[in-house]
Structure 1
Amino acid sequence: MRGEHCIAGATVLSAIAIILLVFAHIGQIGSGALVNSIHMMEVNVASLGNGYQGAKNESAGGLYDSKNDKLGGGKGLRQYYRYGLYNACAYQKDGSGICNSSTFAFPAEPFGNLLADTPSKFESKLKDLIVNVKPTPTLKDDGYNHAMTRGGSALIFCGSVLAAAALIFGIVKLRISFLIAAICSGLGAFLIMIGAALWTAVIAKDNSVNIVKVQSKASLGIIVSAGPSLYLTWVAFALITLSCAPYVIACCTYRK
């Protein structure tokens, strides 16, 4: 295969991967229609009020906020908490929501976020409920979630930059450029893989809360799930990995 054909294939694979990564990166940078459904992880607490009532045998009236007040102010829970690479947003059932300010490598701390939104009259009881149910959910381990998701987001960012660099160097018709593109794509794929694996590990560990029951045998009402951004990141990793070989072949066969 001629080097030009290899580069054409690698360029297409890299370009598709970059597009997918762009979508993964813009998830939860705001609560608008374009980005509100793109996230790495979702924590659904729409049924937590029912779980609270079943466990404590008292009304959960006032547990939820309906006005999209600022997050972390103890004004009430939102039904859906979604985490992206740079931000977290919370949404009502009608789709309206509000977001935190954007931060590089935003750490997901769902337990702390839930308690920060919980009205004071429910806070201690809800904390006691989540911490003491059996089996004990790992969702409460904010230290683990913070370190893993922040590290994963930073690695995905670095891998994305390297993937973009591979695409740029791959266009330049020089053997040294093809070599640099191969190195960038290989290293970028590795960093993206590790970053996505960290996020996957967090979600796999935290979603043990999905099956937790309260004393009344009803569900606790917290559901943790992976979002589209995570799947996009894994697909991008596969495409960037595939693009590495053509760059190497082009480097070895191109005659200029």
Structure 2
Amino acid sequence: MRGEHCIAGASVLSAVAIVLLVFAHIGQIGSGALVNSIHMMEVNVAAYGNGYQGATNKSASGLYDSKNDKLGSEKGLRQYYRYGLYNACAYQKDGSGICNSSTFAYPAAPLSNIVSDTPSKFQTELKDIIKAITPSPTFQDDAYNRGMTRGGSAMIFCGSVLAAAALIFGIFKIRIFFLVAAICSGLGAFLLMIGAALWTAVIAKDNFVNIVKVKNGNSLGIIVHAGPSLYLVWVAFALVTLSCAPYVIACCTYRK
């Protein structure tokens, strides 16, 4: 009975982890009410207009878009940019928004996205303000951000597949399948950890801009922080890790 109890516990842990991962995966696949608040990272530029005025002594009129125009068309900034594993969306203060096309392991490059939305008359000042920040934050390093987030998202996808495989193999009451389930859960947990760590590193480095001040002492107005999806992945990692031991015990004690 010990083996069956272990499998029951491992199955529950794996099932809960998969449910959490499903929510992490569907974040930002659209701008609907179910998924618009689920994201790996958010870049809040709602206060950047004030920061721009403080840095340049120029009006920020026309800096923001109010019509949800296509992203990257230089029609104006949106207040919130949110990044998921496969997509990025931008939102107005009223909650309306628009997303770009979905891509496997979406590479997040916040500064590039912001610049591509900024009307051309504001772009030079934006680039100059960001370049003037000392020490130079990785926020302006598009290659670093793209590489790390793409790699992290790919790792999370592979880890999620392995976690699901562990649950499936654990259903069959055969010792060799329990061994396969243990291997899948162990590898899945490792990949989830690496993927979450890569995203965490990006956010930790990029959020240096949160404390940047412009020349009048006001905040630059660009705030980077982690979203719910990142925490879901970390919790799923813990659950998948915990499920590994019961699969191993079941493999050693089950008699079939």
Q: Deviations over 1:182-219 (max 9, x none)?
A: 00000000000000000000000000100000001100
Aligned-pair identity in percent equals 82
Alpha-carbon separation, structure 1, partners of 2:67 and 2:134: 33
Alpha-carbon separation, structure 2, partners of 1:136 and 1:209: 10
Q: How does 1:198-217 map to 2 (within 5 A)?
A: 198-217=198-217
Partner of 1:113: 113
Partner of 1:246: 246
Query: How far apart are residue 125 of structure 1 and its match?
Result: 1.1
Q: Deviations over 1:44-81 (max 9, x none)?
A: 00000000000000100000000000000000000000
TM-score, reference length from structure 2: 0.99
Partner of 2:14: 14
Partner of 1:255: 255
Residue aligned with 1:214, SS:
coil
Matched, 1:154 2:154: yes
Residue aligned with 1:244, SS:
helix
Write out the 4+ residue segments of structure 1 that deviate beyond 3 Å after TM superposition: none
Query: How far apart are residue 27 of structure 1 and its match?
Result: 0.2
Query: How far apart are residue 134 of structure 1 and its match?
Result: 3.2
Residue aligned with 1:218, SS:
coil
Alpha-carbon separation, structure 1, partners of 2:137 and 2:186: 37
Equivalent AA in structure 2 for residue 193 of structure 1:
M
TM-score, reference length from structure 1: 0.99
Residue aligned with 1:89, SS:
strand
Equivalent AA in structure 1 for residue 244 of structure 2:
C
Partner of 2:58: 58
Structure 1 unmatched ranges of 5 or more: none
Alpha-carbon separation, structure 1, partners of 2:63 and 2:203: 25
Query: How far apart are residue 131 of structure 1 and its match?
Result: 1.5
Contact kept, 8 Å, 1:3 with 1:251, in 2: the verdict is yes
Alpha-carbon separation, structure 2, partners of 1:100 and 1:241: 34
Alpha-carbon separation, structure 1, partners of 2:3 and 2:138: 50
Alpha-carbon separation, structure 2, partners of 1:131 and 1:114: 14
Alpha-carbon separation, structure 2, partners of 1:27 and 1:246: 31
Alpha-carbon separation, structure 2, partners of 1:239 and 1:177: 20
Query: How far apart are residue 126 of structure 1 and its match?
Result: 1.1
Q: How many residues align?
A: 256
Structure 2 unmatched ranges of 5 or more: none
Contact kept, 8 Å, 2:170 with 2:177, in 1: the verdict is yes
Partner of 2:143: 143
Contact kept, 8 Å, 1:42 with 1:83, in 2: the verdict is yes
Equivalent AA in structure 1 for residue 180 of structure 2:
I
Residue aligned with 1:95, SS:
coil
Partner of 1:95: 95
Q: How does 1:13-52 map to 2 (within 5 A)?
A: 13-52=13-52
Residue aligned with 2:217, SS:
coil
Alpha-carbon separation, structure 2, partners of 1:135 and 1:159: 35
Contact kept, 8 Å, 1:134 with 1:212, in 2: the verdict is no
Residue aligned with 2:105, SS:
coil
Query: How far apart are residue 135 of structure 1 and its match?
Result: 3.8
